[in-house]
Structure 1
Amino acid sequence: MGLGKGKGRDDWQSEKLVELVRKLQPGIILNNRLDLPGGVQTPEQFQPRAGAAADTRLVEECTTLNGSWGYDRDNLAWKSSEAVVNLLVDAVSKGNNLLLNVGPTGRGEFEPRARERLAALGEWTRLNGRSIYGAGPSAFAAPYGARYTQRGDRLYLHLQRYPIGAIELDGLAGKVRYAQFLHDGSEIQFEEPEKKDWHSYVHAGVSEGAIRLKLPAVKPEVPAPVVELFLKQP
């Protein structure tokens, strides 16, 4: 790890500490901060490309609302409310957990900018919580600018970059029975390749094996709109 003097497994007697902790509580979950292999991985201030689906170890992404772990009056590198929502979406889409740090002021309060972002995240989650709670990675590959989460027969398309008019979703032809925006329950029409005969398709602009969602020209006034796709039972 390249830890300095006084900061490492030998200085902390990490192996003995873990042995003691597991003796006292065998089912405990530990992270990787004791400078030992294994445990929950805790990347800070960046989004790892892979998650638990590609690695048997658990991952908890750790980040801040601005550039500081504690309250810093002069740190103005605030993430937007939409960026905070997308951090959560990205983590869940990879099977990771998100640890979102908030630093209170010396009076023990959250400043207005922190409250604004937390309120926006709470409101987004109130409307779109089905795509987060109990959901995780999907075997389907999301298009550019989007993320998938899935819970049973519900596939959730998170539109982090809102497309113009329509978006194609590969591998979903014949697999979707209904689609709607999650924030307001409004239906979204979709197209599939049209059959010409038993051996070929007339695509009408829709790629083979894909469906095309017809989206409103104007982005809904919510960060990262979510499309809930009801999948057909196999």
Structure 2
Amino acid sequence: MTASHVRWFMNDRFGMFVHWGLYAIPARGEWVRSLEKMSVAEYQPFFEEFNPVKYDAKKWARTAKEAGMKYAVMTAKHHDGFCLFDSKLTDYKATNTPAGRDLIREYIEAFREEGLRVGLYYSIIDWHHQDYPHFGDKIHPMRDNESYRDHRGEFERYLTYMHGQVKELLTNYGTIDVMWFDFSYDDMIGEKWKSSELVRMMRSIQPDIVIDNRLGGNMKASEPEIYAGDFMSPEQLLPPEGVVNEAGEPLSWESCITLNDHWGYCASDTNYKSPQTVIRGLVECVSKGGNLLLNVGPNAKGEIPRQSVDILNEVGKWMDANGASVYGCGPCKLAKPEWGRYTQRGNLIYAHIYDRGMGPINFRGLQGKIKRARLLADGSEIKVETPWNAWEYPEDAFISFSSASLPDEINTVVELELSEEI
């Protein structure tokens, strides 16, 4: 049973992820400081020159809305510790760079203006803070630097800082719909972050906020921890089937996926997914009861790369015609068909047809159950009839296309209205 405050999330199905920060300047991905073991001093020039002169949050919001996205999640702070918001707890923030502005506030206001729900990504890891573990940590840039062997931070002081920043984010910007934490690892998990205390504080400020599962709890347990989260967050993969708990009950989930191979801007990465891949991936998520959070990584000037915008525009055209097969839909009780996938909402089944195949399209087990069929894109009627050569399949319904090709080769959607819900 989906909790009431999560229902909108599982209804909207499609969101935009935005990874953006100082790492857009070196343009080698968001992990550049860790991978290249850069010191604070080596990373500092990017702070001193950060000035995204073409950042237009309203333009980003229009791009998301036109793509058919219903919500967004943006990096308020990534692992490098740089804050895009005007935190009172640090000087390491956008307002102290040449940008001189609270970039998160602009994002929130612009996306709300377009009618989109807003979420914030916050890394519980911090490579800039002096009290975060350095030497010997699994991923800290100074993990192997002998000069930090005797470095001893006060982790409790870091936790006070981290909790304080979360409180700022949930206090200073109005309603925040999603808090997307990243991430627990090794022994840095669960109560190491004082997660129960953190979540209680969050719920006291914003009771209906939707929280991911990356503080380290076990959502699948019969009695999940208070910090276990509201949804599972598989990364860079689509689960082979719907996500369930130990009792076999479906859980809310969202796959986060990049448009190319990086989260943050990487100038050399042109391995972009096609609009077809994105559309079919979104449908696959919905058919298994999940969401798709699709990432864009804006460049140092604050622009979403043209390749990303072009892909999102094509996705948006399909969503404009076929969004009813995504929003508010979930898994169908029918088995996955060989020609594509099903999604369902009430007594409406949406047949997502990818493969024209030979002969008529077979809807297994639906003979006599379909009240009417329509091509979702334009509402035109499609006849449901049993061909002369299908007498051996009395339980199945069929439709035929006059052309050897599909009306939409990316994904042709046929809306089947059933006489009663299955």
TM-score (norm 1): 0.85
Give, in whole Å, the separation in 1 of the partners of 2:355 and 2:397: 18
Name the CA distance, whole Å, in 1 between partners of 2:192 and 2:324.
Answer: 45
Deviation of 1:81 after TM superposition, in Å, equals: 0.6
Any conservation in 2 of the 1:124–1:222 contact (CA below 8 Å)?
no
Question: Which of 276, 280, 290 is the aligned partner of 1:86?
Answer: 280
1:116 is aligned to: 310
Are 1:228 and 2:422 an aligned pair? no
2: CA distance, partners of 1:218 / 1:142: 21
1:211: which partner in 2?
A: 397
The structure 1 residue matched to 2:382, chosen from 188, 192, 196, is: 188
Q: Secondary structure at the match of 2:324?
A: helix
In the other structure, the counterpart of 1:48 is 239
Alignment of structure 1 residues 62-211 onto 2, 5 Å: 62-192=256-386, 204-205=390-391, 207-211=393-397
Q: Which segment is superposed worse, 158-167 or 30-39?
A: 158-167
Post-superposition shift, 1:2? Answer: 8.4
Name the amino acid aligned to 2:398. Answer: R
Map Cα deviations across residues 41-90 of structure 1 (whole Å, 9 max, x no partner).
00011111222576432101110111111111111221111000011111
User: Which structure shows the bigger proportion of residues in helix conformation?
Assistant: 2
Measure the CA separation in 1 of the matches of 2:390 and 2:346: 31
Q: Secondary structure at the match of 1:191?
A: coil
In structure 2, the residue matched to 1:21 is 202
CA contact (8 A) 2:387 2:398 kept: no
* TM-score w.r.t. length of structure 2: 0.49
State whether residues 193 and 210 of structure 1, in contact with CA within 8 Å, keep that contact through their aligned partners in structure 2.
Answer: no
Which runs of 4 or more aligned residues in structure 1 lie more than 6 Å from their structure 2 counterparts after TM superposition?
A: none
Residue by residue over 1:160-213, the C-alpha shift from the partner in whole angstroms, topping out at 9 and shown as x without a partner, is 33323422111101001222221123332332388xxxxxxxx73552311122
1:168, 1:206 within 8 Å by CA — same for their partners in 2?
no
Tell me which residue corresponds to 1:198. Answer: none
Give 1:102 deviation, angstroms.
0.8
Decide whether aligned partners of structure 1 residues 151 and 206 sit closer, same or farther in structure 2, where only a CA change above 3 A counts. farther
SS in 1 for 2:278: helix
Tell me, what secondary structure is at the counterpart of 2:318?
helix
Check whether the contact 2:356–2:405 (CA below 8 A) recurs between aligned residues.
no
Asked if 2 retains the 8 angstrom alpha-carbon contact of 1:127 and 1:183, the reply is: yes
SS at match of 1:124: helix
Percent identity for Structure 1 against Structure 2: 39
The corresponding residue for 2:172 is none
- Provide the aligned C-alpha RMSD in A: 2.4
Residue matched to 2:214: 33
Show structure 1 runs of 5+ residues with no match: 195-202
